[in-house]
Each structure stands twice: as C-alpha cells, then as structure tokens.
Amino acid sequence: MKALICAKCMDIRALPQGTEWITCRCENAKARWSDPNAGRMVVNAKDKQYVRVLGINNTFLLEALASPNLNNDSWRHLHDVATNAKGYVFDKEFRNCWACVFKVGETSDVSWEET
C-alpha cells in the first residue's frame, strides 16, 4: 500500500483503486497509480520539497487486518516476515520496517509525473 504525504498541510491520502488523482488538503501535492496492478505511483506537486510517500508492506497490513488478536510474539514474527522483502525498501538490508516514509524517486515504483 502507498499513500501520499504532504508535509506542508500534514495530510496523508491513500490512493484510490483506479488511476484517478488524489490531492492533499492544501492542494500542493497529488498522486495516482500509473499502473495499479504493478503498484506504480506518479506524483505531481507545486512544491516538491514537501512531498513524501508512505509505504506499508502488504503482507504485514493484510495479516494485521485479518488477525486483529495477535499477541506480541505474533506481531514480532509478522514484522520479521514483512522485513524479509528482498528488493523492497522494507527489507532488513534497507529500512528493516514494515512501514516506510520515503521521497519520490527513492524507490523504482514511485516517480514524478512527466510534464
């Protein structure tokens, strides 16, 4: 899962399922899926310095939603599984976390819209 973050208005917006744009409250930033099936996102902004992306590991998110009564050992195991994500920002070799905030262009699946 990916969401747009605007640090100018402190808004976090999840992308809709299709390819329509989602805009932050102050209208500084907007984002959309360029390829929803591949998880590719494009972003546009008036002031790019305020734009970030929130990435949440889908394995972690789906299990957390499906199993709301996990104990602490289960949560730690789920974290370990979600951070075994070779090639992704979540992996132990990179951020080692199931949720990551990053800049546009830091990952291969999020880019600035070509104008």
Residue 17: pLDDT above 80?
Answer: yes
pLDDT tens digits, one per residue of 94-107 = 999 999 999 999 99
Query: Which residues, other chains included, contact 112 with Cβ-Cβ below 8 Å and sequence gap of 6+?
Result: 42, 43, 44, 48, 104, 105
Tally the domains of the chain: 1
**pTM (global) more than 0.85:** yes
| Domain span at 64 | 2-112
| Other Cβ atoms closer than 10 A to 37 | 6
Residues 47-66 as b or e (16 or more Cβ within 10 Å = b): eeebbbbbbbbebbeebbee
* pLDDT digit string, tens, across residues 65-103: 999 899 999 999 999 999 999 999 999 999 999 999 999
DSSP class of residue 69 equals T
